[in-house]
Amino acid sequence: RISYVNGRYVPHADAMVHIEDRGYQFADGVYEVCEIRHGYIVDITRHLDRLNRSLGELRITWPMSRQAMIHVIRETARRNKVRNGLFYLQVTRGVARRDHVFPAEGTKPSLVITAKSTDPAVIAKKNANGIKAITVPDNRWDRVDIKTVGLLSNALVRQQAKEAGAQEAIYVDANGCVKEGAATNVWMVDADGTLITRPAEHGILRGITRTTLMDVAEKLDLRIAERNFTVAEMLAAREVFITAATSICFPVVSIDGQTIANGHPGTISQNIREAFFDVAE
C-alpha cells in the first residue's frame, strides 16, 4: 500500500506525521471519506465543496489547489490499484510547538491521503441482512456540522454498539429526536412511504450521500420530508436506513433490540440503493 503524506507517496508502513502535528494534539483538522466505484470518484465535487466549508469554518488554508488535490487523490487510488473502494483525506493546521492558539502565519497545513479497496461481499451481506443499531444520547460539541477529526464520542459509541451486538449507534437529542449515526445519516420511511430525515441546518453533518439520495428520491418520485422525528416514530417506521459514503445505504432491521417492521430490509431502501449510482456524479 502507498499513501500520500505532505508531498510524497510513501509505503503505508512509513507514512508518518510529526508528533507535534495539531491534528494529533488538538484534533485540529478536517477530513473527507469518498467512495471510488469502477475507478471513478463518486460525488467528488460535493465532497470538495464540503471540505472547503470545513476548512473555512476552522480557518485552515487549502494545502494545494483543488485541481492538484483531485490529481493526488486519483494518483493515490491508481498506485493502490483501487477500482472499488474508498479514499480518506485529512487536512490539519500543521506542525507547531504545542500551544492552543493558532501557530504563526505561514505554518503549512498537513495533507494525508490514503486509498483502499473494499470487499463487495461484505457490503452485499450487510445489505441483504440489514444491520442492527442502538440509540445513545448525543454528547458531542455543537459544531458537528463541521467534518472534523475530533471523533472521540463517535468512536466510543460505535464501540458501545459493537459490544451490544450492533453495527451503528444512533445519536438522540434531549427531546428524544433522532440526530444521526456515529458515522452515518439516519432515515425512516413512514406508513405513506414518505422518506423522513432530520434537517441538516443544525446538529448533524450534512452527508453527501444524504444530499445525493434526495436527487435519487426525486427521480424515483418518492416524497421527502426534512423534519425531526422521535425514536418512537422510528421504531414504528415501515423502514429505517442509514447513509454514508462508506455504505451508501444500509437497511436497519433492529434498534435497541426492537425489530423494525418485519425484520427484513425494506423495498424502498433497496430501490434507492440500486438507483444511486445512476444519479451520483
x/- track of binding to ligand PDD for residues 184-203 (CB under 6 A): xx------------------
For the CB of residue 243, give the shortest distance to ligand PDD in the complex, in Å. 6
Angle, CA 241 vertex, CA 192 and CA 185 arms, to 5°: 115
Annotated active-site residue in 116, 126, 147, 179: 147
Grid look-up 440489514 returns: 130
Handedness of CA 66, 119, 128, 261 (dihedral sign): negative
Task: Please identify, using beta-carbon distances, which residue of 82 and 95 lies nearer to ligand PDD.
Answer: 82
Task: Please identify, using beta-carbon distances, which residue of 47 and 93 lies nearer to ligand PDD.
Answer: 47
Which cell numbers in the block locate residue 173?
437529542
Of 117, 160, 228, 246, the one binding ligand PDD (CB under 6 A) is: 246
Window contacting ligand PDD (CB under 6 A); options: 77-85, 181-189, 228-236, 254-262 = 181-189
For the CB of residue 231, give the shortest distance to ligand PDD in the complex, in Å. 17
Concerning whether 132 is annotated as a catalytic residue, the answer is no
Say whether residue 210 binds ligand PDD (CB under 6 A).
Answer: yes
Q: How many CB atoms lie within 10 A of CB 214?
A: 16
Q: How many CB atoms lie within 10 A of CB 245?
A: 21
Instruction: For residue 40, give Cα distances in angstroms to 34, 48, 115.
Output: 11, 15, 13
Window contacting ligand PDD (CB under 6 A); options: 69-77, 103-111, 205-213, 219-227 = 205-213
Say whether residue 245 binds ligand PDD (CB under 6 A).
Answer: yes
Say whether residue 180 binds ligand PDD (CB under 6 A).
Answer: yes
Say whether residue 114 binds ligand PDD (CB under 6 A).
Answer: no
Window contacting ligand PDD (CB under 6 A); options: 10-18, 64-72, 177-185, 215-223 = 177-185
Q: How many CB atoms lie within 10 A of CB 38?
A: 8
Of 63, 207, 265, 266, the one binding ligand PDD (CB under 6 A) is: 207
Sort strands 185-189 and 239-243 into parallel, antiparallel or unpaired: antiparallel
Window contacting ligand PDD (CB under 6 A); options: 115-123, 127-135, 178-186, 191-199 = 178-186
For the CB of residue 262, give the shortest distance to ligand PDD in the complex, in Å. 27
Of 3, 114, 167, 243, the one binding ligand PDD (CB under 6 A) is: 243
Residues designated catalytic: 147
Residues of the shown chain interacting with ligand PDD in the complex, contacts defined by CB under 6 A: 33, 180, 183-185, 205, 207-210, 243-246
